[in-house]
Amino acid sequence: MLGIETSCDETGVALFHTRRGLLAHALHSQVAMHAEYGGVVPELASRDHVQRVLPLLRQVMDQAGVSASQVDGVAYTAGPGLLGALLVGASVGRSLAWAWGVPAVGVHHMEGHLLAPLLEEPAPEFPFVALLVSGGHTLLVDVQGVGRYRILGESLDDAAGEAFDKTAKLLGLGYPGGPALARLAQQGDPGRFRFPRPMTDRPGLDFSFSGLKTHALTTLRDTPADDTLAADVARAFEDAVVDTLMIKCRRALRETGAGRLVVAGGVGANRRLRAALAQMAEAEGGAVFYPRIEFCTDNGAMIALAGALRLAAGASAGPEIEARARWSIEELS
């Protein structure tokens, strides 16, 4: 299965074999290009995908020693994401499938992240609870199997990744802000400030992170500046996000009775979050699973895997080229 990912600012291509596993993968990140603007510029992202996707495809097929005649299907990210960027991958993927006479599968971007830990050993067994923290999405999902998803909770405003990026911008950090804030937080004093843990004092599994960004802003404004202020605010912010996610995950495991937690998406690479969730899962008698760090962010491997699983279940796309900027994971079957 050939997988193509172009939903935002990373071009990913991979080949996955249902028996041999991941054969090859390649990724081009646009971070350096967008850093000049402090965020993703959709038109620039789309144009860069056009330039990168076919060279990456040739690189991956050469690396795997696979010819076009050996490809049994083509998977591409069909949504959600930036529409122009999605259309690049959808157009290339659907056209290759037509030219090669094989099925095409449009993959839901968040389903790709959700299934990415299945690329690892040991892989989580169904059912499990998934925490998806990718870009503009923060979701808790009850996963009974491929295509059997029920959203338990989601962010009512800013997602965790968005809150990281916006708070990093307040602190004068570069793009992407999340990793930069995490590095700065390592130098911070955890006892100087305590930020609220939003929506943890009431029932439910929804999230709200926009207030933490505002709390960081008022703390910076009302505190006399010193050499450690930025690092201490970064640490307080990160601790609040990590604690909030951990509390909600523990609540979801208890409410569903699931013994397995899957964490995927860019924020899932945060070391403090991983440590907190591992400690929580051990205390709950469960286990937590992640994709490898390089597959936490957008990549072609997760799309190839998801496409292979869906193709095996009989799914395929029609002849039209479709992409969806918005798409609920609960609409999948």
Tens of pLDDT, residue by residue over 8-30, are 999 999 999 999 999 999 999 99
Tell me which residue of 94, 102, 98 sits closest to 53, measured CA to CA. Answer: 94
The response to whether 135 counts as a known ligand-binding position is yes
Task: Return the pLDDT at 38.
Answer: 87
Domain spanning 2-115+295-332, CATH architecture: 2-Layer Sandwich (3.30)
Residue with tokens 């199997």: 145
Query: In angstroms, rounded to a whole number, what is the distance separating the alpha carbons of residues 107 and 92?
Result: 14
Tens of pLDDT, residue by residue over 167-217, are 999 999 988 889 999 999 999 999 999 999 999 999 999 999 999 999 999
Task: Return the pLDDT at 176.
Answer: 86
HSE, CB side, 13 Å, CA atoms: give it for residue 114: 33
The response to whether 270 counts as a known ligand-binding position is yes
| Long-range CB contacts for residues 197-202, cutoff 8 Å, separation at least 24 | 197/240, 197/243, 197/244, 197/247, 198/240, 198/244, 199/244, 200/243, 200/244, 200/247, 200/248
The response to whether 113 counts as a known ligand-binding position is yes
The backbone torsions φ and ψ at residue 88, rounded to the nearest 5 degrees and listed phi first, read -65, -55
In the numeric block, which tokens belong to residue 45?
Answer: 């992202």
Task: Return the pLDDT at 140.
Answer: 98
CATH number of 125-290: 3.30.420.40
The response to whether 91 counts as a known ligand-binding position is no
Burial of 144 (0-12, 13-18, 19+ CB in 10 A): middle
Query: In angstroms, rounded to a whole number, what is the distance separating the alpha carbons of residues 18 and 304?
Result: 10
Query: In angstroms, rounded to a whole number, what is the distance separating the alpha carbons of residues 135 and 158?
Result: 10
* pTM recorded for the entire structure: 0.95
Decide if 2-115+295-332 and 125-290 have a common fold.
Answer: yes
The response to whether 136 counts as a known ligand-binding position is yes
The backbone torsions φ and ψ at residue 209, rounded to the nearest 5 degrees and listed phi first, read -115, -5
Considering the chain, what is the average pLDDT of its residues?
96
Task: Return the pLDDT at 317.
Answer: 87
Q: What three-state secondary structure class fits 5?
A: strand
Query: In angstroms, rounded to a whole number, what is the distance separating the alpha carbons of residues 164 and 150?
Result: 26
Tens of pLDDT, residue by residue over 68-112, are 999 999 999 999 999 999 999 999 999 999 999 999 999 999 999
Which band of pLDDT confidence, cut at 50, 70 and 90, is reported for residue 136? confident
The response to whether 133 counts as a known ligand-binding position is yes
Query: In angstroms, rounded to a whole number, what is the distance separating the alpha carbons of residues 212 and 200?
Result: 13
The backbone torsions φ and ψ at residue 243, rounded to the nearest 5 degrees and listed phi first, read -60, -40
Query: In angstroms, rounded to a whole number, what is the distance separating the alpha carbons of residues 98 and 264?
Result: 32
For strands 260-264 and 287-289, give the pairing: parallel
The backbone torsions φ and ψ at residue 113, rounded to the nearest 5 degrees and listed phi first, read -60, -45
Q: Write down the domain spans for the chain.
A: 2-115+295-332, 125-290
The response to whether 298 counts as a known ligand-binding position is yes
The backbone torsions φ and ψ at residue 55, rounded to the nearest 5 degrees and listed phi first, read -60, -40
Helix %, strand %, coil % of the chain (to 5) = 45, 20, 35
The response to whether 141 counts as a known ligand-binding position is no
